Structure 1
Amino acid sequence: MAKKAATNKTNTKKTSFKKYIIGFWVLYFLGALSVLFIFLFASWGVFGPMPDFRQLENPETNLASEIISSDGETLGKFYLSDNRTPVKFKDLPLSIEQALVATEDIRFYEHSGIDARGTLRAVTYLGKRGGASTITQQLAKLLFTETASTNRIKRVLQKAKEWVIAIRLERQYTKQEIMAMYLNMYDFNYNADGIRTAARTYFGVEPRDLKIEQSAMLVGMLKNSSYYNPFRREKLTLDRRNTVLFQMFNYDYISKQEKDSLQKLPLETDYHSESHNAGIATYFREYIRSYMKDWINENPKEDGEKYNLYLDGLKIYATIDSRMQEFAEKAVNDHMKDLQKEYFVQNTPKRNSTTPFVNLSKAEVNGLLKRAMKQSERWRHMKYDLGKPDDEIEASFKEKVPMQVFSWEGEIDTVMTPMDSIRYYKSFLRSGMMSMEPQTGHVKAWVGGINYKHFKFDMVKQGKRQVGSTFKPFVYATAVDQLHLAPCYEVPDVTHCIDANKYNNPKPWCPRNSGGETTGEMMALKDALANSVNTVTATLIDRIGPAPVIDLVHKLGIDSEIPEVPSIALGTPDVSVYEMVGAYGTFANQGVYVKPVLVTRIEDKNGTVLFEYKPESRDVLSSEVAYTMVEMMKGVTESGSGVRLRTTGADKWNKVYQEIITGYPWDFKNPIAGKTGTTQNNSDGWFMGIVPNLVTGVWVGGEDRSVHFRSIAYGQGASMALPIWANYMRDCYSLEELEISDQDFTPPEEMTIDLNCGKRIVEEGEQPIEKPDTDDGGFTSDF
């Protein structure tokens, strides 16, 4: 019996053990099946939509459109929330690849999207020795899954989706493509979406130029870019960077000596904001925004849908040269800062009770301020968006509010009334500058003002001002063309009155020279243009009439309205810098007008060409007439109002320049054609400068014509605008690869006009005597 009982007990134990074994395998297979079904359900979209093949081929990401300069630099971007411009793997430095693999996924090139060893380690140690997410899984999460849930069950389901997507990504893309996509997708903060924008934002370089320690910092930020922020948590970010460097050493990507030396380096960030208000060519970029708006409306996609400038990743290839643009902005900023300082000295409330306005009554000043108030964005918003009554809006302009205002020493946080801020901003002199290659029409530099954030109005194309004596070459060109006059042709320098009956004017028009003096002697046209003699110009316009001049001006690309009156000869029309540069380019291009070009090509995000520019040109003048005008305008810089470009600065009569002009003296030796311009009361200063392959126009003045210098010494074009051209050109010449010509202009094959006027040529080294700029001439608005 005892033996039988023992046998039964043994059989019972075997049966129980067998049940445990069966139960284990049942649970194992059920678990395996559960995991399998979880992945199957995830792939079938049971836990949420899954991307199909087409989505994997073209994952939907918001891509910023990019303006690319003629020398391959990014001038700016258009984006809403995602400032992302993708780069290919070949454009990434080796240090980024090594840092990322060493820190995030050392078996990246071995697994197929899921790292089994890493997953087992994470499960065994409950994540205490690192997570299991591969680079591919992290990309899947960025591309196709929602924010990580705090609910464990939901998080498991999300993880299953990530695994499935990761495996599909591995099948669809190469390892290099996956790494590039991940780095392009990550948000590095400060509108730095993707590795390219991050490299430019934090270090001011393209990704390919990142140093090892810079790559390590950016890879370190991948853990949490908000937490590891070099501007808010410098010490934490530094430690994280050093951890990445240690991992690179740990996996033999760098030596111990490199690791030790790199870990001792500070972060040394170089912040470059890519906001719409910052960076270079801000005014140009804003113009391109409006240009692209029109282009998009006129050029829909094949399916009829319109391109989105902020999401579709368009590449806009511009003619601007980033190096020349920087030179132009520096020239404007340096000179305008000096000029503004002198303006403030001369226009203090003690010296001028209506400052910043000159020679106005109190009533006139109040009228200007009130008009500016009603043109302000604040007034527009309160009246049209909020529906406030006028008296309430006007009262708000008298209440002090905190604000940040512009100054040449940096932005100032202050408290003032909006009306006081209007007066404050009125006191600043403005500027516009454009530089163009006359043979192609390519615009190489565009500076629409002194600070885009605070002065948004673009004085290159939007703004139009009286052009003063820079209009005179159009009168002379018409005379040379139609009357076949040579530069040696002589006209008496005497007061010339134009009959009132010709233009139904109440009285004759008798323009004066600067200072009102005439020599009474015969004067060659070349000398008259060089010294901007008003009486000679009046004689010419009387002989040819305004109509032929206006016809020529319109053929030269100036679309502004020009009244048919003789006073246009002295520059009364309002014209933009953009128009003036295009017109002067015709003189340098042998009489052929070429319309200024801003965009040469537009591509979509895949590199497909959507638009290519076709030059627009027309013959306006004969090459002989055009060359004659260039030779006549060379006299402006050889013996006329632009002779300051030639001087060494040792002359006592240049005291004003030596006191207020940064960069003076210039001592240019190469041939330069040009023309200064100054309008009545010194309200506008112009300089148009030409060398064989570059035409540049500069305007300086106040927002209102009543904001100006009292004396011509400071207010003439030779003092206000010419220095900007000179400093810009000196910088351009310093960079030989720009290939800005310092040679003479090429004459036509046949030239019958006597350009030297039979006079002695000034010997080399002989100092020319400067004559005062006579651009003002006291012209009146009688016509």
Structure 2
Amino acid sequence: MLKKISKNPILKWSLLVIAAGVALFFLLFGSIYFGVWGKIPSSKELTELTQNKATQVLASNGKLIGKFYIFDRQPIDFEQFPPHLIEALIATEDTRFYEHDGIDNRSLLRVFVKSILLQDDSAGGGSTISLQLAKNIYGRKDFGPLGIVVNKLQEAIIAKRLEDIYSKNEILELYFNTVPFSDNTYGIESASLKFFNKKTSALSLTEAAVLVGMLKASHYYNPRIFPERSRLRRDVVLMQMAKYGYLEMEEAEAAKLEPLILDYKSFSHDKGIAPYFREQIRKDVSSILDTLKNSDGDTYNIYRDGLIVHTTLNYEMQKLAEEAVLEHMSQLQKEHENSYGKYGPWDTNKKILNDAIKRTPRYQKLLKKGLGEKEIMLSMEEKRPTEVFTYNGMETRNISTIDSISHYLKFLNSGLLAVAPEDGSVQAWVGGVDFRFFKYDHVAQSKRQVGSTFKPFVYTAALENGMDPCAYFSVREVTYDNDWTPSNSSSEGDDPHMNYNLKTALSRSMNTIAVKVLMETGINNVVSQARRMGIESELPPYPSLALGTASLGLTEMAGAYTSYVNNGFYTKPYYITRIEDGEGNLLASFEPQVSKAKAFSEDTRKIMLNMMEATVNEGTAVRLRYKYGLRNDIAGKTGTTQNNKDGWFVGITPNLVCVTWVGSDDHRIGFRNTSIGQGANSALPIFAKLLQKMNADASFADVTNARFAPLPSSLAEMMECPPKERDNFLERLFSGKKEKDDRSKNDRRDKKKKGFFKRLFGKKDDN
């Protein structure tokens, strides 16, 4: 035989080539096996596989509202895979999966011959599920011309070790939890939730086929971008299932007739439900995790450790709140811009525009490069196609950077916070109109002057310090220190000789009377009362405090107002209930923060609630009744700050406190006039629209059908006094001198105390 070979040069050289090829293969394989091309994980390392896992943020009902991840991966157990999903995968990707030991030798030989001997880069294909799993876990590196062979052999070694360690079902579990899908999504559960808004276990046959079909080329067969391609690929998967006996041909043909319908849910941090809330969760949880250690003594990582964060957020209410904000703000924005016409301060006020320009990252970057002011401005005046936000959708305009800055300066913004008063649990949180373009969170970060929404604190302090609810005060203007003379925005101040009781003065938000009540009560007493209700921010100790010159946040306001429907105890808003690891083990838990002492008496609470109900039924918030047709039990308070810079509304129902704010991010830009900027027009409608939507949804019946307890007869009798009375001649004669002597007490008319003039003229006591 050897003589025949030696005499036949063709056969001799053929055998030498084959021998050299085999030797080369084993040499290459040996170098790969022993780590010359990079370390291959050992069997021990493979038994301790860990993958970056997304942290999930859940609403109070367990519904997913967002995730934090490096790769969007959400592992699940094998038992959660429906049979048709597994069958679709095997029929399409690896028909001999249950027969081989991780390596398809025929496929591997084909790759070797075509790639090395024939230099055919398109030799791939035929990879087993185990080989794909190895690639999914460890990725591929660039080894030059031999790259595909080296990577394939590395994956073959890893695949063989995986098969020795794990059962077939465990390999399928690992595969489905690591395989990449379209839109930067890793793992079947994340893909199922993203494309069909359902858990993997609920996937239909055709939905499973769409996801499995996507694995061939995740971008090319992305059903969101290329629905027709995806549908055709789905049909290939269905026919493969029929070919290998997983479906009857009739079943496959029937399934092919079904339309491809997505229910796409993006979990991009900038998009989706509650983005401002999720960003606050990210900040808080990251800080909390810095104080916790895992079993290895390391701190947890919000992006890698697959934690579960449970929150108090009401998923459905949050959706309705976001809808309410956008519906109202889109209309209000039109009114705002139309009121200014071509002379909006975002265009005409050069200081406001220049300040905004200098705050931009681009300006700062050019400044650091050493460019002068003129050069920077010329650069920022260059026009280019730019996508900008509008309430009608994104628009592409040919504008400069300066034009873009001016565009965003004109937008009003908003904040909404709704809490359950008994424990302070946050039900809805809207920090602005669109997180993609307005990152500043007006719930967590903003403090603005609160206007007349501070007045209830003044009246609460007055009642607590012995003032009678039927005390009368003149609407007359008075000048205080620093020549400050508060006035009323309505016609109530036209008759300076008219006196109003506390309920009427509060419900109609009379500025002159609010300041007089504060001065008679004592500024320090009012500040102390606000502190007992949970207000922690600085409160300026001046008469103007009564009109809300203090800058407070929405969380402070919401917490303080809960005391009116929580038996006098204020509750600090909270939103994280517990944090668990991926196995459900508790890492941290959080309880409601309710004040230990009552902020005021029960009688004061009931009287104040009655006064704020009057605000809704007959006062500044009456449009809740006549315009929005709300018949719920509602108390509340409107607020408008100086020069119409801020609009506020606090809505109170027995089981919900909701604070809304509207204004410009640049506080120098206010509303053009009070009719647009007053809280009743700018902020109140958001609450009104939210409550309308909740009224239409029976699941909110515990909130919408709740009723305030009626005012006890003893308190009702105490408040039985005319809303207003006019001074008689002698009272007016003497009240002028009295006002000069003691401005803070000039017009009080205590209905329970018989005054000299009433006795003189025989006027009966109204009580």
TM-score (ref. length: structure 2): 0.82
Q: Is the 8 A contact 2:644 2:678 kept in 1?
A: yes
Partner of 1:622: 601
2: CA distance, partners of 1:317 / 1:754? 44
Q: How does 1:530-609 map to 2 (within 5 A)?
A: 530-609=507-586
Q: How does 1:55-454 map to 2 (within 5 A)?
A: 55-80=45-70, 82-109=71-98, 111-114=100-103, 132-144=126-138, 146-147=140-141, 158-231=151-224, 233-299=226-292, 301=294, 305-349=298-342, 353-355=343-345, 365-384=349-368, 386-454=369-437
Any idea what SS the aligned residue of 2:578 has? strand
**Matched letter for residue 286 of structure 1:** E
For residue 457 of structure 1, the aligned residue among 417, 440, 443 is 440
2: CA distance, partners of 1:623 / 1:43? 79
Cα gap change, 1:355/1:148 in structure 2, threshold over 3 Å: closer, same or farther? closer
Deviations 1:500-521 (A, max 9, x none): 4xxxx33364433524434744
| CA positional deviation for 1:563 | 0.6
| CA positional deviation for 1:63 | 2.4
Q: Is the 8 A contact 1:486 1:754 kept in 2?
A: no
Cα gap change, 1:569/1:409 in structure 2, threshold over 3 Å: closer, same or farther? same
Cα gap change, 1:58/1:704 in structure 2, threshold over 3 Å: closer, same or farther? same
Partner of 2:462: 479
Any idea what SS the aligned residue of 1:754 has? helix
Any idea what SS the aligned residue of 1:184 has? helix
| CA positional deviation for 1:369 | 1.5
Partner of 2:653: 691
Partner of 2:741: none
Cα gap change, 1:572/1:371 in structure 2, threshold over 3 Å: closer, same or farther? same
Q: How does 1:650-729 map to 2 (within 5 A)?
A: 665=628, 667-729=629-691
Partner of 2:473: 492
* Larger mean Cα displacement after TM superposition, 215-224 or 549-558: 549-558
| CA positional deviation for 1:571 | 1.4
**Matched letter for residue 382 of structure 2:** E
Q: Is the 8 A contact 2:235 2:256 kept in 1?
A: yes
Q: Is the 8 A contact 1:496 1:539 kept in 2?
A: no
Q: Is the 8 A contact 2:635 2:653 kept in 1?
A: yes
Any idea what SS the aligned residue of 1:440 has? coil
Q: Is the 8 A contact 2:564 2:609 kept in 1?
A: yes
| CA positional deviation for 1:599 | 1.6
Any idea what SS the aligned residue of 1:677 has? strand
Cα gap change, 1:513/1:450 in structure 2, threshold over 3 Å: closer, same or farther? closer
| CA positional deviation for 1:425 | 1.6
Cα gap change, 1:307/1:341 in structure 2, threshold over 3 Å: closer, same or farther? same
Deviations 1:355-409 (A, max 9, x none): 558xxxx5xx11221222222232333335x454444334433333432211111
Q: Is the 8 A contact 1:65 1:315 kept in 2?
A: yes
Any idea what SS the aligned residue of 1:628 has? helix
Cα gap change, 1:436/1:94 in structure 2, threshold over 3 Å: closer, same or farther? farther
Cα gap change, 1:472/1:156 in structure 2, threshold over 3 Å: closer, same or farther? same
**Matched letter for residue 525 of structure 1:** L
Q: Is the 8 A contact 2:210 2:233 kept in 1?
A: yes
| CA positional deviation for 1:565 | 0.6
Q: Is the 8 A contact 2:579 2:588 kept in 1?
A: yes
TM-score (ref. length: structure 1): 0.81
Any idea what SS the aligned residue of 2:518 has? helix
Q: Is the 8 A contact 1:319 1:444 kept in 2?
A: yes
Cα gap change, 1:749/1:451 in structure 2, threshold over 3 Å: closer, same or farther? closer
**Matched letter for residue 535 of structure 1:** T
Partner of 2:490: 514
Cα gap change, 1:90/1:552 in structure 2, threshold over 3 Å: closer, same or farther? farther
2: CA distance, partners of 1:192 / 1:559? 44
Partner of 2:611: 632
2: CA distance, partners of 1:255 / 1:694? 56
Cα gap change, 1:41/1:706 in structure 2, threshold over 3 Å: closer, same or farther? closer
1: CA distance, partners of 2:712 / 2:19? 98
Identity %: 38
| CA positional deviation for 1:720 | 1.3
* Larger mean Cα displacement after TM superposition, 90-99 or 721-730: 90-99
Deviations 1:710-738 (A, max 9, x none): 34333221211111111112223333334
Q: Is the 8 A contact 2:633 2:708 kept in 1?
A: no
Cα gap change, 1:441/1:122 in structure 2, threshold over 3 Å: closer, same or farther? same
Deviations 1:263-304 (A, max 9, x none): 234433444433222111111222223223433444455656
Partner of 2:747: none
Partner of 1:772: none
Partner of 1:612: 589
Any idea what SS the aligned residue of 2:132 has? helix
2: CA distance, partners of 1:334 / 1:636? 25
Any idea what SS the aligned residue of 1:223 has? coil
| CA positional deviation for 1:581 | 1.2
| CA positional deviation for 1:542 | 0.9
Cα gap change, 1:112/1:628 in structure 2, threshold over 3 Å: closer, same or farther? farther
**Matched letter for residue 679 of structure 1:** T
Any idea what SS the aligned residue of 1:523 has? strand
2: CA distance, partners of 1:742 / 1:227? 49
1: CA distance, partners of 2:489 / 2:429? 33
Any idea what SS the aligned residue of 1:588 has? coil
Q: Is the 8 A contact 2:447 2:552 kept in 1?
A: yes
Deviations 1:178-224 (A, max 9, x none): 22321221222322222233223333443334332222111011122
2: CA distance, partners of 1:346 / 1:92? 58
Any idea what SS the aligned residue of 1:646 has? helix
Q: Is the 8 A contact 1:145 1:162 kept in 2?
A: no
* Larger mean Cα displacement after TM superposition, 401-410 or 257-266: 257-266
| CA positional deviation for 1:450 | 0.9
Cα gap change, 1:130/1:366 in structure 2, threshold over 3 Å: closer, same or farther? closer
**Corresponding residue pairs, total:** 708
Any idea what SS the aligned residue of 1:741 has? helix
Partner of 1:19: none
**Matched letter for residue 675 of structure 2:** A
Please list every run of 5 or more consecutive structure 2 residues that lacks an aligned counterpart in the other structure.
Answer: 7-17, 724-767
Partner of 2:731: none
Please list every run of 5 or more consecutive structure 1 residues that lacks an aligned counterpart in the other structure.
Answer: 1-10, 17-27, 650-664, 762-783
**Matched letter for residue 141 of structure 1:** K
Partner of 1:741: 703
